[in-house]
Amino acid sequence: MDTRDAAFMQSALREAEKAATAGEIPVGAVLTMGDEILAAGQNRSIRDFDPSAHAEVVALRAACHAQSNHRLGNATLYVTLEPCAMCVGALVQARVNRLVFGAYDPKAGAVGSAIDLTDSAAFNHRFEVLGGVLADESGALLQDFFRSRR
């Protein structure tokens, strides 16, 4: 992990905090190109009545719209929780170059925890993966959120 990865993950954590404040599962994401944040997203599934409104997909949609392109080949996505299968599929379709995530998700993580779709021969695109960046901070947000719900 370098300082740039940590700084962008801090931005994703701020998005996750906003999601928690709105009553959503606290997952946040930012999509970058170079040193610039192109788009940010947070879980919005409950607010938007949309099961696909995960932080990653929200950020991808915003970035694609900002670039007027459905491909984001030079982009890095920072997200506070290991992506699920749906989100990995979206990253593949957008041709994202790199994924950096915080906490591992042993129940639904599709980047190595529950399943690893990043090495699937079924996909025509691969991307670099770095997991565990600010994992303690990301995990604590999730634990606090679920503890308050019980």
Which two structure tokens, joined as six digits, stand for 91? Answer: 């990253």
Active site residue 56: yes
Annotated active-site residue in 56, 82, 128, 137: 56
Pairing of strands 98-103, 75-81: parallel
Instruction: Compute the distance between CA of residue 63 and CA of residue 128 in angstroms, rounded to an integer.
Output: 19
The set of catalytic residues is: 56
